[in-house]
């Protein structure tokens, strides 16, 4: 695998390759973004390219030399992954890094520490890491990976070269699904639209029977009567009580109302995520105004944010159902 095998993140790859070409690799990097979007993959390829033994690799990894093979297998003596043991990354993990950082690399140009879920550092570990960042060594490179940037100390963030990984485009995720697992294009586009721009989430959705669940949910939506209290409660209860299932249902609703807005403005079915439900979407687009559809999208997003805060699920979903425009 090399930079060419990574889907999306072209600007980040360009920045990294320029740094490699100019031999100006920094002492600390911070990769932040949604889960399973490619942060760890790019970090690994960065390290491989940096330490590749072939000079004609054009600032990319060859994948064949001893260094590339060792990094791929996780057996390189100068590349270390630091992860949480339980709930936190503890100070002992950072102290071990500090001790290793005092020695010269055994094989690599520079020793690399990749800290996954860096936001899980407890306060003592974070302060210990801050000391390493304040007194950087030319022999070491740190790469921090996080999905919760707000949980890191501002002083840590300010001492790293920060790369924010945005959700991937629907087309990019769909291409990955088609290329890597041979999925048909229509299903790939559907799962890509429901993935939130995450390759990992798209793969998880493929393992679940998300297509059947979506069909049931949209049918339930079509049967819901805004003027019938019991109908609204039934729709809310259909979304369930399991947090993961609720989030999937809300995501489906969000893409559905997004499709309704796009169809209302463009009348182009090819731009829809739920192309196989274009008839129902067009009906909703004709029935609702653009303002009403936007209100629906906002209501669904707000319900998702409230669910994340572990507020009463039934009350949250029922409130959303009562306010949605049908």
**Mean pLDDT, range 177-195, rounded to an integer:** 90
Identify the H or E element spanning 15. Answer: helix 10-21
Residue 25 has what DSSP assignment? -
| pLDDT at 125 > cutoff 80 | yes
CATH superfamily of the 3-165 domain: P-loop containing nucleotide triphosphate hydrolases (3.40.50.300)
pTM, to two decimals: 0.81
Query: What percentage of residues in the chain have a pLDDT greater than 70?
Result: 99
Cβ-contact 49, 16 below 8 angstroms: yes
Identify the H or E element spanning 145. Answer: strand 140-146
Instruction: Tell me the residue length of the chain.
Output: 326
According to DSSP, the β-strands at 79-82 and 161-165 are unpaired
Q: Nearest 5°: CA angle at 74, between 72 and 79?
A: 100
What is the Cα–Cα distance from 138 to 60, expressed in whole angstroms?
Answer: 22
The ranges of the chain annotated as CATH 1.20.272 are 208-323
| pLDDT at 86 > cutoff 90 | no
Cβ-contact 224, 235 below 8 angstroms: yes
CATH of domain 208-323: 1.20.272
Cβ-contact 52, 61 below 8 angstroms: yes
What is the Cα–Cα distance from 114 to 39, expressed in whole angstroms?
Answer: 11
Identify the H or E element spanning 163. Answer: strand 161-165
pLDDT 10s digits, 273-310: 888 889 999 999 999 999 999 999 999 999 999 998 88
The ranges of the chain annotated as CATH 3.40.50.300 are 3-165
């Amino acid at each position: 695998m090399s930079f060419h095998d990574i889907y999306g993140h072209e600007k980040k790859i360009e920045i990294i390759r320029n740094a490699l070409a100019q031999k100006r690799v920094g002492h600390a990097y911070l990769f932040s973004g949604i889960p399973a979007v490619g942060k760890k993959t790019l970090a690994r390829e960065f390290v491989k390219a940096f330490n590749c033994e072939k000079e004609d690799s054009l600032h990319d990894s060859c994948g064949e030399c001893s260094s590339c093979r060792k990094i791929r297998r996780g057996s390189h003596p100068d590349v270390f992954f630091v992860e949480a043991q339980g709930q936190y990354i503890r100070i002992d993990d950072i102290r071990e890094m500090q001790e290793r950082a005092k020695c010269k690399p055994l094989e690599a140009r520079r020793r690399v520490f990749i800290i996954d879920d860096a936001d899980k550092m407890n306060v003592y570990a974070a302060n210990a890491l801050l000391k390493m960042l304040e007194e950087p060594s030319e022999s070491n490179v740190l790469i921090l990976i996080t999905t919760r940037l707000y949980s890191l100390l501002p002083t840590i963030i300010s001492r790293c070269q920060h790369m924010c990984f945005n959700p991937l485009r629907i087309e990019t995720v769909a291409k990955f699904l088609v290329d890597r697992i041979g999925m048909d294009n229509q299903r790939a586009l559907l799962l890509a639209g429901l993935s939130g721009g995450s390759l990992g989430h798209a793969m998880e959705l493929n393992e679940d029977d998300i297509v059947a669940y979506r069909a049931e949910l949209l049918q339930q939506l079509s049967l819901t009567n805004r003027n019938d209290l019991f109908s609204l409660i039934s729709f809310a209860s259909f979304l369930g009580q399991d947090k993961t299932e609720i989030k999937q249902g809300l995501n489906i609703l969000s893409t559905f109302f997004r499709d309704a807005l796009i169809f209302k403005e463009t009348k182009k079915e090819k731009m829809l995520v739920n192309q196989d439900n274009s008839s129902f979407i067009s009906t909703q687009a004709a029935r609702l105004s653009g303002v009403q559809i936007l209100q629906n999208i906002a209501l669904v997003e707000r319900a998702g944010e409230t669910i994340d805060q572990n507020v009463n699920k039934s009350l949250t979903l029922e409130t959303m159902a009562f306010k949605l425009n049908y």
